[in-house]
Chain A
Amino acid sequence: MSGYDDSDHPVEPWGPHDWSHGAPHNSFSPIFMSMGIALFLFMMAQAWSFGTYTPGYIPGILLGLAIVGFGLFIFWRQDISFDGSYEPRSSGVPFKNIQIRKVAVWVFLMSEMMVFTSLFSTYMRYRLGIENCGDMYERLEASHELVSGATYTCFEPASHLIASSGWHLTPGAINTFALILSSFTIVQALRYAKMPDIDEEVRRRKVYRYLGSTWCLAVLFLTLKMVEWFIGFHIPEIGFLGISEQNIHPLVAEGYTINADAYTHHDYHDFIMNIQVSASLFYVTTGTHGAHVAGGIIGLSYMTYKAWRGGYTPTNAVSIEYFGLYWHFVDLVWVLVFPFFYLY
């Protein structure tokens, strides 16, 4: 079969790569990433089975993730020397002269739209098809059909807990602003990377700091999400501001879990609910978005490191734009997820 004709072209499957010759012809990254993903999914399936957790598989899960990480490491090891000398542009209509990789990112975002569309479809089907718990409670109360001790299957949106008070909404609100702000910082990073006549050291610092801020805001997002889901927070009394002491419980402490088949809420007296579907939808949809943020954090880590090394110049600044497109998309999805799952 065909090998490589030019002998002065070394094969570097582990990286680093000399981009003056074009894209890498060999890379160990794909096979390691595939191996890691397969191992990770296999170990996850072994560790959990219908809610039963079997300990002892965590090392296997971590090994799978580590192998994926190793594959990514090789991928980036080949990329870190990328300086923009090889960035082919489209030759044909309708994308003439636009970078090929930019077109690829847009096409990728189209497929991601289908991912979130499917999640929203599932949400719509269940939200509109299963009676809301509040409505069911009122209906049964009014007709005196409420059976004490019976469990009712109904749809309990997370907003009933989260949007119940200003303090409850605070993590979500901060998250929204954090993501929007991070979209701004990533554009600023791109702007400074592209800016033609500035000192290289100034450029390096600006790009590195803006990328780092984006990273910090993304980590803040995930941290606040964990606070909201698992940790909760305490509001101390601040008399002169009129703030009374409060304990904001996390969602799982309130009983809003995917296994909640005997859920109660203080608004509904003596009403036991099976809210497994509602909780599954909430956690999986917001969790999928969170997973996309996490993926962005991983990418940002690499980019921040590369920026710190001074790797972004006007010639290859467009790489930041590729990530920026993805990041704006993640932000946009949050702007849809937040009202639908947290407010409504």
Chain B
Amino acid sequence: MERRTAMTRSMVVLVFIAIAMVVSPAVNSLPTGIGGDNIQSQGCNCHNTLPSSNVIPSLAGLPEEYNVSTTYTLTISFSGGPAEGGVNSGGFNLWASDGDFSVVDATVQARSPTELTHTEAGNDYRSWTIEWTSPDHGRNVDFILHVNSVNGDGANTGGIDEWNRLDVTVAGSAGAGLEAADAFKVLGTLIMISLVLLTVTILYGFYRTNPDNFTWDYLAPWITGWLTSTDHKRIGTLYFVQGLFFLGVGGIMAMMIRVQLAGPDTGFISQDQYNQFFTLHGTTMIFLAAMPLIAGFANWIVPLQIGAPDLALPRINALSFWLQPFAALLIFTGVFSGEGADTGWTGYAPYVVSAGAHRGVTFWVAGQIMLVASSTLTGINFLTTIAVMRAKGMGWMQMPLFTWSILVANVMLFLSIPAFGIGLIQVFLDRTISTAFYDMAAGGDPLLWSHLFWYFGHPEVYVVIVPAFGVISEVIATSARRSIFGYRSMVYAMAGIGLLSFIVYGHHMFTSGMSPTLRFVTMLTTMLVAVPTGIKIFNWLKTMHGGSLVYRTHTLWALGFLVTFTLGGISGMYFPAIAMDLHLHETYFVVAHFHYVLVGGTVFGMFAAIYYWYPKMTGRMLDERLGTLHFLIGFISYNGIFWPMHRLGVVGMPRRTHTYFITTDDFTSLPEWAADWNLFISVSAFIFFFSNLILVANMLTSLVRGQKAPADPWGGWSFEWMVSSPPPTPSFDWNNLPELRDANEHIANEPTRMGAWFNRLMVPDQEEEASN
């Protein structure tokens, strides 16, 4: 697979080079100097495709071994070729890998501190004098000199003009020095290491289940059991392991991004590579980490909470899971060849269908299509399960809030994701068989993609936060040792968020040129969605106020969630005000906002869920001291990462750009403190990353050595606490399903008037069956 990709890729690259060399000169502005981005690789191909050995360039004045921080006077000259004295006889471009050039007269101009070319005044010379100051590190420096020798007739056709290239390396006292690390090699290595660690952990898990039989004969059925299981608990664990693994991989990408951004112009990740980094970071975190973690808990806990032995469609559930690792393989295709998707996780048209975007975009799209299928099947499964498999006595308004949150999230998901799927299929077909959905020359409309994407994209972000709401409700109620305050309003709030989420997506498109009327309407609906969310926050606060809070680690994370999600929600409320959005769009303010709600919301919710339900899922208690340590370090470092980003965004630090500048003579510069705060953010990021390893260590050691967990360690009331830890398989006996009798935390069992009317409408009489 990789060889073929590499072969295809090199063929494509060769084709592009050939086309570029023949069709479009890579350099520009001829009499006034030679520039262009590709001169180092393609030469002065305006004058001729290939260099000519008649022209002999020379670079005089360089020492055998330079002294650090010394200025040398260099002379660039050439002989040969058709140049005669007078007009337009020659030009040059000199590039150095290090050091600084200085211009001494008007015949030379600097394109950058390390690249010089001639000026219009210097266009009729055959030699030029410049100065070069050596760097202070003492490593070898490379020079690339291009000179062209022209016949002065002002035309560059006919093959008369000639050019040539000279490569010179000047040694320094320190020798060749270390090769700069290639970001993709680093990423690839770290991913490999993570995979090895995962494999070792899995094998160790196998060893612990069966210490006396650590042989292949026992391993094969054990692995087969995991690969083929349709049991919701096993599938939940599979989702979980996948989610945690990709949380780590996404985190590694984030760490590398923070290394790149730790200072201005660090040069660790190139512009092109950086585009791939933030694309993959976003895609990995949302689709391969957050959603599987939520699916993992949903799979584990929802059937237990409603008293169902399994989900409605067990094999389809397994299919939903298995689509994900294979989709991940497709999405990550291109990372190891350097041609990964570079469109941003939002994949905007027309770039996403352009030949300029990397080859990996097609595979990214294909992987996303598989994930769409996975999510659709999951949505169908959970909606059906919750609708039809609730225990006797558990009406809709007696369900635990986590189950409600999964229901709302899945309804939003499976109604919105097909639109994304269709958009993806259109992009896939555009990129393969060349349909014209987003081909602007043929009349295609890139805004169509934006609509299809954000019609899904906005409900999607609520899909990842609403289950966290459910977790927080469960955790706070149990920790406060009382039932949640305002159960009914919590349900209506979640349903309201679910409904509203479909009519606010325009707020992602405020800068796309949409009509002012629609922008106004979307502004109002977006502001409206804060209301049900606020209701939930007040209900949580009131639950604690009326209860007696016990501080376990899950409680701490839930409290942290309340702080960070509220802050994230408030920062989000700046965007509906359209004038503010126009200013803040594509700045780090956006990055701060969504990381506050995604990490401070979803991830913290998932951490709370881990500490809350781990005893149920594994039968072991997690260590509370390690948990508290994880929380303290993690919470503080997390705020250290994302809080300063608000201010950076307001002063205009743009997002999705590989570096930033603080020099005062560049109009896109930032104030000097921006660099200091970016460094602070990067350091905090590393602390946060490593604090999460405390959680992993806690989970692994508790699995082996943790205290055995009772059925109900926290004093919860929902059904999952009535079964053993871990639960048996099947979770409940089909012939002996539980019955809900006393749901004291929920309202009374009598149906409301609406419920009674619905009952009479839908439920058939006792004598006849609903269908035969």
Contact = CB atoms under 8 A, between A and B. Distances in A.
Interface of A: 1-5, 11, 13, 22-31, 33-35, 37-38, 41-42, 44-51, 54, 75, 78, 88-104, 107-108, 110-112, 114-115, 117-119, 121-122, 125-126, 129-130, 153-155, 194, 258-259, 261, 274, 276-277, 279-281, 283-284, 288, 318
A111 B379 contact: yes
Given A26-B228, A115-B418, A42 B759 contact: no
6 contacts: A1-B233, A34-B319, A38-B329, A51-B433, A104-B380, A111-B415
B442 to A, nearest CB: 4
Contacts of A46: 4, 8
B391 to A, nearest CB: 7
B620 to A, nearest CB: 12
B415 A13 contact: no
Contacts of B517: none
B762 A96 contact: yes
Interface stretch (B264-272, B342-350, B722-730): B722-730
A92 B381 contact: no
Given A45-B363, A122-B448, A274-B442, A2 B435 contact: no
A288 B428 CA distance: 14
Contact of B443 (A23, A37, A93, A277): A277
Given A31-B228, A31-B318, A42-B1, 15 more contacts: A23-B314, A30-B321, A33-B319, A34-B370, A35-B322, A41-B330, A45-B362, A51-B433, A88-B734, A92-B396, A93-B758, A104-B384, A107-B380, A274-B443, A281-B437
Interface string B313-331: 1110011011101110110
B434 A34 contact: no
User: Top 10 A-B pairs ranked by shortest CB distance?
Assistant: A51-B434, A276-B436, A90-B388, A280-B435, A94-B762, A38-B326, A48-B432, A13-B228, A118-B422, A41-B366
Contacts of B4: 46
Contacts of A31: 227-228, 318, 322
A15 to B, nearest CB: 11
A41 B231 CA distance: 28
B444 A93 contact: no
B436 to A, nearest CB: 3
Q: Interface of chain B, helix or strand or loop or mixed? A: helix
Nearest to A71: B319
Contacts of A92: 387-390, 394-396
B425 interface: yes
B225 interface: yes
Contact of B770 (A26, A96, A130): A96
A100 B388 contact: yes
A343 to B, nearest CB: 23
A11 B434 CA distance: 47
A111 B421 CA distance: 11
A101 B313 contact: yes
Contacts of A111: 376, 379-380, 414-415, 418
Contacts of B227: 13, 28, 31
A92 B656 CA distance: 49
Contact of A110 (B415, B435, B439): B415
Nearest to B320: A30
Main SS at interface, chain A? helix
Interface in B444-458: 444-445, 448, 452
Interface in B288-347: 310, 312-315, 318-319, 321-323, 325-327, 329-330, 333
Nearest to B420: A118
Contact of B437 (A23, A154, A261, A277): A277
B732 to A, nearest CB: 12
A30 B209 CA distance: 25
Contacts of A118: 418-419, 421-423, 452
Given A2-B234, A93-B762, A101-B313, A115 B421 contact: yes
A272 to B, nearest CB: 13
B384 A24 contact: no
Contact of A318 (B224, B373, B389, B771): B771
Contacts of A37: 323, 326, 370, 373
Contacts of B770: 89, 95-98
Contacts of B362: 45, 49
Residue of B310, B319, B419 most packed against chain A (CB within 10 A): B319
A26 B229 contact: yes
A280 B231 contact: no
A145 B230 CA distance: 67
B431 A49 contact: yes
Contacts of A318: 771
Contacts of B734: 22, 88
A47 B734 CA distance: 49
Contacts of B448: 122, 125-126
A250 B507 CA distance: 45
Nearest to B423: A118
A280 B323 CA distance: 28
A279 B209 CA distance: 59
Given A49-B431, A110-B415, A2 B233 contact: yes
A217 B10 CA distance: 48
A95 B387 CA distance: 8
Contact of A276 (B221, B380, B422, B435): B435
Given A46-B8, A49-B432, A111-B415, A93 B442 contact: no
Contact of A100 (B389, B396, B442, B729): B389
B276 interface: no
A201 to B, nearest CB: 23
A42 B390 CA distance: 41
Interface in B156-182: none
Contact of B726 (A1, A25, A103): A1
Contact of B442 (A27, A47, A54, A153): A153
A281 B443 CA distance: 12
A100 B390 CA distance: 12
B333 A114 contact: no
B729 A5 contact: yes
A108 B321 CA distance: 17
B383 interface: yes
Contact of A30 (B233, B318, B359): B318
Task: Kindly name the residue among A93, A103, A130, A288 whose own CB sees the greatest number of chain B CB atoms within 10 A.
Answer: A93
B763 A93 contact: yes
Contacts of B425: 284, 288
Contacts of A101: 312-313
Contacts of A117: 418-419
